[in-house]
Amino acid sequence: MRPEPTWLVPEPYTEIDLGTLKSGKEAQINVVERTSLDDPRMTCLLARKLYVPRGVKGKGVLEAMGLQKASTFTNDVQYREGRQFRKSRDRRAVERMSTYGKRLLQDRWTNHEHDVMEKLWANGASVPYPVSYGEDVFYLEYVGAPDGAAPQLAGARLGRDQLEVAWEQLVDGLRTITATGYAHGDLSAYNVLWWDDRVWFIDFPQAVDLAENPSGLDFLHRDVANLCEWFKRRGVERDPEEVFADLLGYAFG
């Protein structure tokens, strides 16, 4: 078992919000500082991901939460197909996207990212440590320095040698993710951070279970193709079919 991180400030603590890092399509990320009430010298930085509520429409509500962009349910069904809605009534509600079905999806959405990352972290994948989650919020390890967050791979301006290193690390990480039973589902140079000379996989709310989702391998294939395309444009050319075939050997093991 991978030991719990030692940098995490235990309860009781206070928290201050240091400001917004990013307002993405689906979430707003803030940096928060946690300070131990027992020992004020003990502090840690965390990323707090606040999800845009599913199915929420209307600018007012989102603005009130400090978010501008709404997202819709359209992609969810495809991603979630095959996920454990054991009762046929629930499955039908989800397929029809009734109010009840949407609520079912939302309940699952909020802790899914945490649960996936927890398993990946335990298996040694390079992901930020998933700290905790609440209804619309997910706390995770902050990647970066006190004066600035880690860049996305897309903006990290890596030299040729570093790109080669990053590529090897990505393949290694993908093997772990695949062996854990998931496809990321939205992998790109924007959902990978570069920090401490290594890649960090982030942004897993849409991760799909390879064994349960009939499209799981298609998502994996698309993830691999996306990364290969990005690396190819930067002079690191790898055959996506070869990488995909290698990863298949790790799935369903």
Ligand X SMILES: Nc1ncnc2c1ncn2[C@@H]1O[C@H](COP(=O)(O)OP(=O)(O)OP(=O)(O)O)[C@@H](O)[C@H]1O
Q: Which residues bind ligand X (CB under 6 A)?
A: 21-22, 24-27, 29, 47, 128, 140-144, 149-150, 152, 190-191, 202-203
Q: Residue with the closest Cβ to Mg ion?
A: 203
Q: How far apart are CA 250 and CA 176, in angstroms?
A: 8
- C-beta of 189 vs 243, nearer to Mg ion: 189
Which are the contacts of 28, defined by CB distance < 8 A and separation ≥ 6? 20, 22, 49, 50, 52, 65, 66, 67
Provide, rounded to whole angstroms, the least separation between the CB of residue 84 and ligand X. 24
- Residue among 18 and 171 whose Cβ is closer to ligand X: 18
Q: Does residue 223 bind Mg ion (CB under 5 A)?
A: no
Of 114 and 251, the one with the shorter C-beta distance to ligand X is: 114
The residue (of 22 and 232) whose beta carbon lies closer to Mg ion is 22
Q: Position of tokens 């990321």?
A: 184
Beta strand 208-209 pairing with 198-201: unpaired
| Contact flags string 165-204 toward Mg ion, x per CB under 5 A | --------------------------x-----------x-
C-alpha–C-alpha distance, residues 208 and 216, integer Å: 6
Q: Could you say which of ligand X, Mg ion, none residue 116 binds, taking C-beta under 5 to 8 angstroms by partner kind?
A: none
Rounded Cα distance between 166 and 194, Å, is: 8
Residue 32 Cα to chain centre, angstroms:
18
Q: Which is nearer to Mg ion, 133 or 201 (CB)?
A: 201
Q: Please give the angle made by the CA atoms of 207, 202 and 97, to the nearest 5 degrees.
A: 35
Closest chain position to ligand X (CB): 24
Contacts with Mg ion by CB under 5 A lie at: 191, 203
